[in-house]
Amino acid sequence: MNDTTATKPLWRKIIDFPLVALVIGIFAIVFTLGLVGRFVVPFVTEPFAEDTGRAISVVIAIIAVFVIYKLVLPRIGDDRQDDLPKAGALGDLGRGTMLAAILMTLMVAVAWILGVYDIQGWGGSTSFLMILFSAGFQAAFIEEVLFRGVIFRFLEQFGGSWFALAISSALFGYAHISNDNATVFSSIAIAVEAGILLGGAYMLTRSLWFAIGIHFGWNVVQGYIWDVPVSGNAVDGLVESSVSGPEWLSGGAFGLEASIIALIAATVTGVYLVWLAAQRGQVIRPWWTRRRLAKERAAIAG
């Protein structure tokens, strides 16, 4: 709890209360995306080829979300912070992408060794713009801003790190329940493996860039290199592949994310990131605990 809380006007206290800030943050992001979709996308997609127009609209959406995030989010909440700092952005993006690339390639290798994944040859052509922007960076950036930069952040300010990790992971899994080929198990798997992995990345760095890099590398390497469906969505990869065997091992039509292979590998990696964050003192206590401790310190000082 900030030392200046007692001197804030009532309206400021209300806005800075974590659950109120959570609602404001979600509204700001969703409203911005709605405006872009309604007034921008139709005018930038029509004059161009499909892939080019879609890539341009995605870039505009990313820029709009980035701007509104920088304008609103660092100015609300119990603990003011900028989760998209310029310092270290490229390094964290690169490290996150590399970690995800290694992790996903390892999972594909295990699936191949177990006989549930097979490479049949080179894949079809895929637009580089689609890979980089629409399929990769759009989902990575916007989803991480919303789920870690808003939902995790303000839930953590309210209920502490463990509360935020549990609830944001569950919501992240639920958000994928309507994907193509989704099942209850695939949503649970996404909640556990990706929720902990990405939440741990945010806890460790206190920046969204590392989590964005992991999310980007995960999607691109999984789908557009190894030809594995990305969260249920079939894509054309650099290679042409097929899966067979029991769904609990191969993930079936949803992709490796719904397999025991990913559930183990990604969850173990995520737990390690959370452990590192805890070792470095990045675990935040609940709002009521911080408030009580602040009052106790003030009483001792007084």
210 pLDDT exceeds 70?
Answer: yes
- Alpha-carbon distance of 36 to 42, in angstroms, equals 9
More confident site: 135 or 195: 195
3-class SS of residue 74: helix
Query: Is residue 267 within a helix (H) or strand (E), and if so which, with residue range?
Result: helix 260-279
What is the per-residue pLDDT for 133?
61
What is the per-residue pLDDT for 128?
59
Please provide the average confidence, as pLDDT, over all residues in the chain: 91
Q: Which of 226, 203, 198, 223 is nearest to 99 (CA)?
A: 198
Structure tokens that stand for 48 in this block: 């161009």
More confident site: 257 or 56: 257
Taken in order 110, 113, 115, 119, the sign of the CA dihedral is: positive
Assessment of whether the complete model's pTM goes beyond 0.85 = yes
Structure tokens that stand for 115 in this block: 């006989």
CB 57 within 8 A of CB 45: yes
CB 249 within 8 A of CB 241: no
3-state helix, strand, coil in the chain (%, to 5): 75, 5, 25
Strand pairing of 117-122 and 239-243? antiparallel
Considering the chain, what percentage of its residues have pLDDT values greater than 70? 91
- Spell out the residues 6+ positions from residue 261 whose beta carbon is closer than 8 angstroms to its own: 107, 110, 111, 114, 249, 251
**pLDDT tier at 1, thresholds 50, 70, 90:** very low
**pLDDT tier at 51, thresholds 50, 70, 90:** low
Q: At what angle do helices 18-35 and 50-72 cross, to 10 degrees?
A: 150
More confident site: 45 or 272: 272
Measured CA distances, 194 to 29, 147, 182, 257 (Å): 21, 11, 15, 9
CB 214 within 8 A of CB 97: yes
Per-domain residue ranges for the chain?
84-301
